[in-house]
Amino acid sequence: MKQLKLNNDIVANNKKADFQYFLVQTFKAGIVLTGTEVKSVRLARVNMSDAYCYFKKEELWLKNLHIAEYSFGNYANHAPLRERKLLLKNKELRRLQAKIKERGFTIIPVQMFISERGLVKIEIALAKGKKSFDKRDTIKDREAKKDVERMLKKYR
């Protein structure tokens, strides 16, 4: 099995995040993991498409982040969908908590990566949900960019 290097390797991306939400502000947070979870993350066995964050007793928690069980784990293996605590500074937590109380805002994970020090970090974003017409505009812009790229490639 191929393990990732230790220099800001992106382990997982939330591909739906940019399509379904307007990303207002991003934060880098630490995440509390067990040993077998870290080994699975280094093997890039992570799915974050349905994950979201919420506050419980002044702490930020991540729910529905699927980290597959480690194949060589034994009785000490982890539950794939357990809730995980996120580590942020108090100032950032207070700012996020104030924004969440506003209507329409949510916190979603955008990507997971391994820092230069070898720690697993997660980038979260304060996001506002898109309406269906906003999604159509996103698709239209994406297709226009693809058409321009095709034309440029054709005339090179």
Q: Tokens 């239209």, residue?
A: 140
Give the pLDDT of residue 29: 92
Query: Buried b / exposed e across 110-142, counting CB within 10 Å, b at 16+?
Result: bbbbbeeeeebbbbbbbbeebeeeeeeeeeeee
**Which pTM was predicted?**
0.76
Q: Is 79 exposed, middle or buried (0-12, 13-18, 19+ CB in 10 A)?
A: exposed
Give the pLDDT of residue 77: 86
pLDDT < 70: residue spans in the chain? 1-8
Give the pLDDT of residue 2: 55
Give the pLDDT of residue 3: 56
Give the pLDDT of residue 85: 92
Give the pLDDT of residue 80: 83
